[in-house]
């Protein structure tokens, strides 16, 4: 699985300073809207609607807020890491751990299996505490991506 087909260095946002899950989703939707040239309110609406069905925190300090929308025609992935000391404690994580790594997944509102492939790649990405720690320790977006490229089962970005 080539997880890099869903995002690039400009899709990685490190050391965001947000105090809650709601703020994190709001900021990430703004980041995605600017990157894609879309209206933030429309992205926020679909992501919050999905989040209201149940927490998208998967444990291990990770959450995957996502939503289906006709605003995109392919899967887009935006990765964020909160700044040290800005752990999100209101994400209803199954293991009770605060969240520091987030993946905003925007999914086309059409029948397709690509979003399942993206979710599977994220599962491999965050399978071990060692992988999570490597991402938490990355100094910048470039080193964050380099960290991803050494995780087994993910392909490295083209040089």
Q: For the segment 76-111, what is each residue's pLDDT rounded down to a tens digit? A: 999 999 999 999 999 999 999 999 999 999 999 886
| In-domain check, residue 155 | no
Q: What values do phi and psi take at 14, rounded to 5? A: -105, 150
Query: Tokens representing 45?
Result: 């609406």
Which of the pair, 118 or 45, is modelled with greater confidence? 45
Catalytic residues: 66
Please tell me the predicted confidence (pLDDT) of residue 34.
Answer: 93
| In-domain check, residue 44 | yes
| In-domain check, residue 156 | no
| In-domain check, residue 154 | no
Provide, rounded to the nearest whole percent, the portion of the chain with pLDDT above 70: 93
> pTM higher than 0.85, yes or no?
yes
DSSP string covering the chain:
--GGGS--GGGEEEEE--SSHHHHHHHHHHHHHHHHT--HHHHHHHHHHHHTTS--EEETTEE--EEEETT-SS-EEEEEEEPTT--B--S--TT-PPB-EEEEEEEESSS-SHHHHHHHHHHHHTSSHHHHHHHHH-SSHHHHHHHHHTSTTSPPPP-
Residue 131 domain boundaries = 3-149
| In-domain check, residue 40 | yes
| In-domain check, residue 22 | yes
- pLDDT (tens digit, 9 = 90+) per residue, 133-146? 988 999 998 888 88
Residue 35: give its domain's CATH number.
3.40.930.10
The total of structural domains in the chain comes to 1
| In-domain check, residue 157 | no
**4-8, 15-19, 132-136 — which is least confidently predicted?**
4-8
Please tell me the predicted confidence (pLDDT) of residue 158.
Answer: 45
| In-domain check, residue 159 | no
């Amino acid at each position: 699985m080539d997880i890099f087909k869903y995002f690039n260095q400009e899709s990685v946002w490190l050391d965001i300073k947000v105090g809650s899950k709601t703020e994190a989703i709001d900021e990430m939707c703004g980041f995605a809207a600017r990157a894609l040239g879309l209206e933030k309110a429309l992205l926020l609406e679909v992501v919050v609607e999905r989040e209201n069905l149940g927490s998208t925190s998967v444990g291990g300090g990770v959450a995957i807020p996502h939503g289906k929308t006709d605003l995109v025609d392919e899967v887009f992935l935006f990765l964020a890491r909160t700044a040290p000391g800005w752990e999100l404690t209101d994400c209803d994580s199954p293991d009770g751990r605060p969240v520091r790594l987030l993946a905003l997944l925007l999914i086309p509102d059409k029948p397709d299996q690509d979003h399942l492939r993206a979710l599977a790649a994220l599962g491999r990405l965050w399978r071990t505490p060692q992988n999570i720690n490597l991402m938490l320790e990355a100094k910048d977006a470039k080193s964050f991506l380099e960290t991803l490229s050494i995780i087994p089962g993910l392909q490295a970005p083209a040089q």
